[in-house]
Amino acid sequence: MKHMFALLATGLLLASAAQAQTKLTVPPLSPATHIRQDFSTSFIDLTYSRPSLRGREAFGKLVPNGTVWRTGANTVTKVRFGEDVKIVGQTVPAGAYALLAIPDAKEWTFILNRDTAQWGTYAYKPDLDVLRVKAKPTKLAAPQETMSLTVENIRPASADLVVSWDRTQVALPITADPDRIVMAQIQEAMKGEKKPYMTAIQYYYNAGKDLTPALGWLDEYIAANPTRYNGYYWKGKLLQKQGNNKDAIVAANKSLELLKDDKNEVARNEYIRLNQEVLAAAGGKK
Task: For residue range 203-214, list pLDDT tens digits in order.
Answer: 999 999 999 999
pLDDT the model gives residue 82: 98
The pLDDT-based confidence of 18 (bands split at 50, 70, 90) is: low
pLDDT, average across residues 241-247: 95
> Model confidence over 39-82: pLDDT tens digits?
999 999 999 999 999 999 999 999 999 999 999 999 999 999 99
> Residue type for 113, please?
N
Euclidean distance between CA atoms 258 and 14, whole angstroms: 81
> Which domains are seen in the chain, by residue range?
32-176 (no CATH), 179-282 (1.25.40.10)
- Does the predicted model carry a pTM greater than 0.85? no
Neighbours of 260 (CB within 10 A): 9
Query: Among the residues of the chain, which ranges form H helices?
Result: 2-19, 178-189, 197-206, 212-224, 229-242, 245-259, 265-282
